[in-house]
Chain A
Amino acid sequence: MKQIELRVNGERVVREVADSRLLLDFLRNDLGLTGSKEGCSIGVCGACTVLLDGQAISSCLALAVFADKHDVTTIEGLAEDGRLHPLQQAFIDFGGFQCGICTSGQIMSAKALLDSNAHPSEGEIKAWMMGNLCRCTGYYKIIESIQAAAEGRVGA
């Protein structure tokens, strides 16, 4: 067991965790933040994507102790004052989700993309987002959602 201290969605968290505790399990089971999902368990599907100091990572491959002294942002931390983040609104308006199981990961990856590249080309979106699988949408409307958020065409 090790004590870790980190910020999760802006709030300070201090917890005892087993050395082997995965960050995903820590978020879901210890903190009750179940928006991050477990799909493949091997870092391929992207459903567990969270931001660690702003970088998109697969939380199913990271240990909780790895997040010690770092900032973690999950899907639950995206809305501000009850208002959805433009990416979240865009995924609703443009059909970027269906079953929703990959959606948290898609949005977190897209946030990391737009934070580093405010106006990505379609090719840049595809290259960046290929680590987030979606079986429902065929991806077309996810691309459209990200483009709409980048261009401020949201909440009309």
Chain B
Amino acid sequence: MVTASSVGRAVGHVEGPGKVSGRAQYTADLTLPGILAGKCLRSPFAHARIRSIDTTRARALPGVRAVLTSVDLPDRNIGRRVLDIPMLARDRVRFIGEKVAAVAAESADIAEEAILLIDVDYEELPAVFDAVEAMKDGAPILHDNAAAYAGMPQPLPDFPNAVSQVFYRKGDIKTGFAEADRIFEHTFYAPSVHQGYLEPHACVVQIEAGGRINAWLSNKTPFTARAQLAAALDVPEQRIVVHLMPLGGDFGGKGSLMDTVVCYYLAERSGAPVKMVMTYTEELMAGNPRHTTVVTMRTGVTNDGRMTARQAKFISNSGAYAAFVPSPLATLHGATHTAGAYRVPHVEVEALRVYTNTVPTGHMRAPGAPQAVFAEEVHMDMVANELGLDPVELRLRNSLVEGDESSLGEHWQSIMSKETLRAAARDARWGEAKPPNVGRGIALYERTPGTGESTETLTIDADARITLLTAVPDTGTGSHTILQQIVAEELQVPISSVAVQAGDTDIAAYDSGAGGSRVTHAAGRATQATAVELRKALIELAARIFGTGPESVSLQGGRFVAAADQLTLAELMLRARELEEAPITRQGSYVSPRGHSEVTSFAAQIAEVEVDRETGQVTIRRVVSAHDVGRIINPLTHQGQIEGGIVQAIGQTLTEQLIVADGSVTNPNLGDYKLPTMADIPALSTLLLETRHGPAPYEGKAIGELSNVALPAAIANAVYDAVGVRLTALPITAEKVYMALQAREGTGA
């Protein structure tokens, strides 16, 4: 039985001092003797053939040390799963911002000057930007033989520019619609948005004389990055060391190599280490933002509001390449959330992914789910409205309860759907009177904890210093503090006596990296297992010293106690030194079960908004965020995940979108791409309904991707409640609300 001395405490120990003092070194902060700056020339055309590239003038510029085009590189593509993106464009560019050539120079200024001296002769080709248009017969084709790309699921679906088409089915959709009294169908749109981390992608590559390759990357999956880099360079993985760097924000966006491969070849060609740091403009025009989606929802219900069938078609715009999505099916798994967090007997979800001549898209915090749940939960409200039912009541009537099967056939313990909905509604004064032009909207979401694999290494030395060696990168979520708390808990020592060392891929053991709400679960369980092993070793040592069996020794209040003897940890380790048994190191591993999860987590979010009828401006007055949670290991970082996710969701509902005109991002800077500021945040009420049965240590559950998904629909539903206009396309800008109000008044409605 744990004593809960360390777990459950709001602490920010490990990461804090370095970050508040400016000492924490991020990738862009690194320097090495003789380091060069790398820059890329990017395509100004959405779709064009490259007739020729002349680098003569760039090479002649003083201070330029290497210039590369595709002819200098191996004929290999790169990617997280589907290998379809060339290191540098070969004979063709497919989006505005695609890398065409690269330069390494003695300063970033010289490199920037040099890329302007590279002459490229392009022949423009017909382009297509919209996913629905790209699927039609006769659309311009981006990839002549996409089926041949390594990692591309086979067979390729039978429509133009196809990346993937995946069906998720339960029951029989025809039967379900036949059982319905009424059937509703609506279509929704969500634009591409950027993860918005303030640290643009950065990498440093150094090649040692013996051929060892050192890579410092703003990457959240170091071992996966090493494998991808090894494949790209065609070298054994063991020749590469990926160094763990703190990430200046991730939110799903930092799982690819981005410029690393080009950086390697610049280092190889120039014979010097090279650093590449993207500008924010490059991030916005050529990062790996969220997919634009068009989602059609079709739901059959009985007259009393019970769902009989649900069908969804989720079309996502992959952009010019599929390389940034790691799914084995090359799909956005979040599309499954169109099925809803409800009891529905007959379901069919079709998820499509399509190439277009736009920025290649990748993963962002609950990939696919925000778009799916925006569609699904606004649709729910529209159905409630048509049936004359209260939106909370419709959701309660279709809520999962213990023993139910989910919309896609899962069975979970401790289902908290109704409790979460009711708690949110109560706190938001749902149903109570409101001032004019004020509305409330609700949305519900459910997500299972993430899965992963991890091995952790724990050492205690003769001075009783405890160090956890981990390959989990610090993405800002406080994961190192959580691991530290777990070690402290199991060894009954103060949190501050446990050091956490982020080890590179040579010295730390395998970890699947940050992402998919997996770290506290997988790395947490591995850390716990490791600490338990170390505790066992310490108890055995104490038993030998006491001259008794290990079963007679226990760890109590930080002391190793037998019948007549006791030792503190420090005393025990002094004896270990005398016995030449220090330091003591143990390793522990954990591989989470894949596929079915025993539990899920519900999030019911309510927005209260006020709409200015004169301008269409939407102001969010209050947000209620109700979560069914497991045991919370660190309340401070747990709440931080909720608050950060909510404000991201607000940005993505009201102000954020990559505005793309003819394939060109027209707002490629943070002045025009509007992230929320401190002045934009509403009053917030967080409700935590604690259950157990979570898979993380001490029955914890995930939170990171539960705060940012339901809220956009809740806000849209609140706008409808406030002024009666129904917006089905994000973002909900003042202009759109104003035009919708005008249109309604024009029709005399």
**Residue ranges of A at the interface with B (Cβ–Cβ < 8 Å):** 20, 28-29, 32-42, 44-45, 47, 74-76, 78-79, 84, 88-89, 91-95, 97-104, 107, 125-127, 129-143
Q: How far is the CA of A137 from the CA of B636 in the complex (A)?
A: 11
Chain B neighbourhood of A20, CB < 8 A: 109
B639 at the interface (CB under 8 A from A): yes
Minimum CB–CB distance from B411 to chain A (whole Å) comes to: 34
Q: How far is the CA of A28 from the CA of B165 in the complex (A)?
A: 48
B214 at the interface (CB under 8 A from A): no
User: B651's closest neighbor in chain A, by CB?
Assistant: A135
Minimum CB–CB distance from B50 to chain A (whole Å) comes to: 29
Q: Is the CB of B280 within 8 A of A40?
A: yes
B678 at the interface (CB under 8 A from A): yes
Q: Is the CB of A137 within 8 A of B644?
A: yes
- Return the contact of B29 from the options A28, A107, A140 (Cβ within 8 A): A28
Q: Is the CB of B21 within 8 A of A99?
A: no
State which residues 641-656 of B face A: CB under 8 Å: 643-648
User: A25's closest neighbor in chain B, by CB?
Assistant: B108
User: B197's closest neighbor in chain A, by CB?
Assistant: A135
Chain B neighbourhood of A28, CB < 8 A: 29
Q: Is the CB of A33 within 8 A of B637?
A: no
Minimum CB–CB distance from A10 to chain B (whole Å) comes to: 15
Q: Is the CB of A38 within 8 A of B28?
A: yes
Of listed A32, A37, A92, A142, residue having the most chain B CB within 10 A: A92
Q: Is the CB of B24 within 8 A of A39?
A: no
Question: Chain B: interface residue count, which band?
Answer: 35 or more
Q: Is the CB of B29 within 8 A of A40?
A: no
User: What 7 pairs across the A-B complex have the smallest Cβ distances?
Assistant: A35-B22, A99-B476, A101-B248, A100-B19, A138-B647, A138-B643, A92-B16
Chain B neighbourhood of A92, CB < 8 A: 12-13, 16-17, 20
- Return the contact of B677 from the options A42, A104, A130 (Cβ within 8 A): A130
User: A95's closest neighbor in chain B, by CB?
Assistant: B636
Q: Is the CB of A130 within 8 A of B679?
A: yes
Q: Is the CB of B679 within 8 A of A99?
A: no
Q: How far is the CA of A126 from the CA of B197 in the complex (A)?
A: 21
Q: Say what secondary structure dominates the interface of chain A.
A: loop
Of listed A76, A125, A131, A138, residue having the most chain B CB within 10 A: A138
B196 at the interface (CB under 8 A from A): yes
B640 at the interface (CB under 8 A from A): yes
Q: How far is the CA of A137 from the CA of B478 in the complex (A)?
A: 12
Minimum CB–CB distance from A23 to chain B (whole Å) comes to: 15
Chain B neighbourhood of A88, CB < 8 A: 20-21
Given A101-B249, A137-B640, output 15 extra A-B contacts at Cβ < 8 Å: A34-B22, A35-B22, A37-B248, A39-B199, A41-B280, A98-B476, A99-B199, A99-B247, A99-B475, A126-B678, A132-B678, A138-B644, A139-B678, A141-B639, A143-B678
Q: Is the CB of B197 within 8 A of A44?
A: no
Interface string of B10-44 (1 = CB under 8 A from A): 10110111111111111011010000000000000
Minimum CB–CB distance from A113 to chain B (whole Å) comes to: 12
B670 at the interface (CB under 8 A from A): yes
Q: How far is the CA of A92 from the CA of B17 in the complex (A)?
A: 7
Q: How far is the CA of A20 from the CA of B478 in the complex (A)?
A: 39
User: A133's closest neighbor in chain B, by CB?
Assistant: B675
Q: List 17 A-B contacts (CB under 8 A).
A: A34-B29, A39-B280, A92-B13, A92-B20, A95-B636, A95-B637, A97-B16, A97-B19, A100-B24, A101-B26, A101-B198, A101-B199, A102-B198, A130-B679, A138-B643, A138-B646, A141-B640
Of listed A29, A34, A136, residue having the most chain B CB within 10 A: A136
Q: Is the CB of B671 within 8 A of A40?
A: yes
State which residues 674-700 of B face A: CB under 8 Å: 675, 677-679, 681, 684
B374 at the interface (CB under 8 A from A): no
Minimum CB–CB distance from B543 to chain A (whole Å) comes to: 40
Q: Is the CB of B644 within 8 A of A39?
A: no
B79 at the interface (CB under 8 A from A): no
Q: Is the CB of A127 within 8 A of B246?
A: no
Chain B neighbourhood of A37, CB < 8 A: 26, 28, 198-199, 248
State which residues 229-265 of B face A: CB under 8 Å: 246-251
B302 at the interface (CB under 8 A from A): no
Of listed A131, A139, A143, residue having the most chain B CB within 10 A: A139
Q: How far is the CA of A74 from the CA of B18 in the complex (A)?
A: 15
Q: Is the CB of B198 within 8 A of A127?
A: no
Q: Is the CB of A135 within 8 A of B196?
A: yes
User: B281's closest neighbor in chain A, by CB?
Assistant: A41
Q: Is the CB of B678 within 8 A of A135?
A: no
User: B19's closest neighbor in chain A, by CB?
Assistant: A100
Chain B neighbourhood of A138, CB < 8 A: 640, 643-648, 681
Q: Is the CB of A136 within 8 A of B249?
A: yes
User: Known: A42-B669, A92-B12, A95-B636. Is A36-B22 also a contact (CB below 8 A)?
Assistant: yes
- Return the contact of B643 from the options A32, A40, A137 (Cβ within 8 A): A137
Minimum CB–CB distance from B482 to chain A (whole Å) comes to: 13
Q: Is the CB of B15 within 8 A of A127?
A: no
User: A146's closest neighbor in chain B, by CB?
Assistant: B678
- Return the contact of A79 from the options B21, B247, B637 (Cβ within 8 A): B21
Q: How far is the CA of A129 from the CA of B676 in the complex (A)?
A: 12
Q: Is the CB of A40 within 8 A of B670?
A: yes
- Return the contact of A129 from the options B15, B247, B678, B684 (Cβ within 8 A): B678
B454 at the interface (CB under 8 A from A): no
Minimum CB–CB distance from A21 to chain B (whole Å) comes to: 9
Chain B neighbourhood of A42, CB < 8 A: 280, 669-671
User: A96's closest neighbor in chain B, by CB?
Assistant: B20
Chain A neighbourhood of B684, CB < 8 A: 140
Minimum CB–CB distance from A79 to chain B (whole Å) comes to: 6
Chain A neighbourhood of B17, CB < 8 A: 84, 92
Q: How far is the CA of A45 from the CA of B248 in the complex (A)?
A: 13
Chain B neighbourhood of A135, CB < 8 A: 195-198, 249, 251, 644, 648, 675
B279 at the interface (CB under 8 A from A): yes
Chain B neighbourhood of A130, CB < 8 A: 677-679
Of listed A32, A97, A141, residue having the most chain B CB within 10 A: A97
Of listed B31, B198, B648, B679, residue having the most chain A CB within 10 A: B198
Q: Is the CB of B199 within 8 A of A141?
A: no
Minimum CB–CB distance from A53 to chain B (whole Å) comes to: 20
User: Known: A88-B21, A99-B475, A126-B679. Is A136-B644 also a contact (CB below 8 A)?
Assistant: yes
User: Known: A40-B671, A74-B22, A88-B21. Is A98-B640 also a contact (CB below 8 A)?
Assistant: yes
Minimum CB–CB distance from B146 to chain A (whole Å) comes to: 34
Q: How far is the CA of A47 from the CA of B478 in the complex (A)?
A: 20
Interface string of B263-291 (1 = CB under 8 A from A): 00000000000000101110000000000
User: A94's closest neighbor in chain B, by CB?
Assistant: B636
B371 at the interface (CB under 8 A from A): no
Q: Is the CB of B246 within 8 A of A99?
A: yes
B477 at the interface (CB under 8 A from A): yes
Minimum CB–CB distance from A32 to chain B (whole Å) comes to: 8
Chain A neighbourhood of B281, CB < 8 A: 41
Q: How far is the CA of A97 from the CA of B18 in the complex (A)?
A: 11
Q: Is the CB of B20 within 8 A of A91?
A: yes
Chain A neighbourhood of B246, CB < 8 A: 99-100
Q: How far is the CA of A104 from the CA of B281 in the complex (A)?
A: 22
Chain A neighbourhood of B109, CB < 8 A: 20
Q: How far is the CA of A42 from the CA of B476 in the complex (A)?
A: 24
Chain B neighbourhood of A126, CB < 8 A: 678-679, 681
User: Known: A34-B25, A44-B671, A141-B640. Is A97-B681 also a contact (CB below 8 A)?
Assistant: no
User: A145's closest neighbor in chain B, by CB?
Assistant: B20
Q: How far is the CA of A142 from the CA of B671 in the complex (A)?
A: 22
User: Known: A95-B12, A140-B643. Is A127-B679 also a contact (CB below 8 A)?
Assistant: yes
Q: Is the CB of B21 within 8 A of A98?
A: no
Q: Is the CB of B669 within 8 A of A40?
A: yes
Q: Is the CB of A75 within 8 A of B22?
A: yes
Minimum CB–CB distance from B736 to chain A (whole Å) comes to: 24
Q: Is the CB of B248 within 8 A of A99?
A: yes
- Return the contact of A101 from the options B197, B251, B647, B670 (Cβ within 8 A): B197
Q: Is the CB of B678 within 8 A of A125?
A: yes
Q: How far is the CA of A74 from the CA of B496 in the complex (A)?
A: 28
